[in-house]
Amino acid sequence: MKRRTSLSCPLSLIPHHFVVSRHWSFVMSALLACAHSAIASNQIPAKPQEKPIAIVNATIHTVSGPTIEKGMIIFDKGKIIAVGTNAAVPSGAEVIDATGKHVYPGLMSADTYIGLTEIGAVRASNDRIETGRINPNVRAEVAVNPESELIPVARANGITTMVTAPDGGLIAGTSAVMMLDGWTWEEMTLKAPAALVVAWPFMSVQQSSLKSIEDQKKEREKQLNELANAFRDARAYMIAKMAEEQKGIPYHKIDKRWEAMIPVLQRKTPVVVSAFDMQQIEAAVAWSVQENVRLIIHGGYDAWRVADLLKKYNIPVLAGGIHRLPYRRFDRYDEPFVLPKKLLDAGIRFAIVSGEEAAHERNLPYQAAQAAAYGLPKDEALKAITLYPARIFGVDDRIGSLEVGKDATLIITTGDPLEIVCNVEMEFIQGRKIDLSSKHTQLYEKYREKYRRSKP
């Protein structure tokens, strides 16, 4: 226990003998490497919006409504107060002339673990997977590191909001909708819990596995039972706790796990279930109906194969990642690319998620673009990473489109943010003007300087 404490301490608190001990030298080298640049990012969180801001002469992509050429958008105290072509600019407002530029709502990553990891291979920097298989009570937001270098990198490409999710086991914990700006995780949190995160057991048995078919079936049965029992136990707990109000019913001790699941059972919090193939999705839907919980399918590779079922129960799909290889040899090469288009055609609600490592989440818009290249209308591709995820996670009253009353969480770009060659020039989160520099731009500048100096 002591050891763990000391390892997670800042460098200066580590007892001297650890520093000189050979045994700990590898730990130290890792810590040292982090210490000089990593533990805190250099970007300073933005100040609250001090005065009204009017962006004028821009192409305004409202997402929820028509696109406005030569339009303007005005926001104050973090909220959008006007969108149009000739709204009155309040006195004292900062006016940003965005001629030739475009304004979009900030992009939303509906599935990432930014903040819960720093360096994939460095164990000490990972807070994404709690041990054990049933962890409904762990909360992603409390472990999000606002100092992560991954945050400025992602937001520099227009991602302003994320759903940070835990992983591992069967019930991983609850995710949270976070803004990519703030001094603390509390300041960053927009909505928590966002959803309970569940990984559906693998349903199909693999003929080629070294494990026997029987063993695989047993393992599947065991996991399905474990999952089902968790929900039944939680429901029993909820009923028992609710009954306490009645006369003669004794007090029931608090169970952190089942307590955390009450909002799920009451349908206040949805369940995001990772389900990939047809059998998993069918099973997850049947289960959600039985348990009467609000289901969101995550992954959903085969979702189009069970479109009628998903539509019947109005279950949305977090489709992703689009950038993946086809799962089956007989799938067409573009099978992952065309999934969103198929979902749209089938009338299923969806958002696009990347399935990427957290560090690479900045490329989320290009996954949407890939779907657009293969048939999804461009405006739908944009919605799939703005308005649609906001709706699925119930934050569309705050973000996801440019409408009066919503948060002034938006980006000014040189063009279509789904194009790689486009750049984000300014960014606002709740009206706060965001520093778009990052570790990457700083190292870029540093070494440009090296070569400037070495020039004759």
Interacting residues with other proteins between 305 and 344 (CB under 8 A)? 305, 323-326, 328-330, 332-334
Query: CA angle, corner 161, sides to 160 and 166, nearest 5?
Result: 140
Q: Which is nearer to other proteins, 222 or 332 (CB)?
A: 332
- Given the complex with other proteins, which of 433 and 439 has the nearer CB atom? 439
| Least distance (Å) between residue 43 CB and other proteins | 15
Q: Which of 359, 403, 426, 437 binds other proteins (CB under 8 A)?
A: 359
Is 452 near other proteins (CB under 8 A)? no
Residues 281-300 that bind other proteins (CB under 8 A): 282
Number of residues interacting with other proteins: please give it, by CB under 8 A: 63
Choose which of 39, 46, 373, 404 interacts with other proteins (CB under 8 A): 373
Binding mask 133-172 for other proteins (x = CB under 8 A): ----------------xx--x-------------------
- Distances from the Cα of 452 to the Cα of 445, 448, 449, angstroms: 10, 6, 5
Choose which of 14, 35, 82, 122 interacts with other proteins (CB under 8 A). 122
- Please tell me whether residue 27 binds other proteins under the rule CB under 8 A: no
Work out which of 94, 357, 397, 449 binds other proteins, going by CB under 8 A.
Answer: 357
Interaction site with other proteins (CB under 8 A) = 30, 33, 37-38, 118-122, 149-150, 153, 203-204, 206-207, 210-211, 277-279, 282, 302, 305, 323-326, 328-330, 332-334, 357-360, 362-363, 366, 369-370, 372-374, 378, 418-423, 439-441, 443-444, 447-448, 450-451, 454
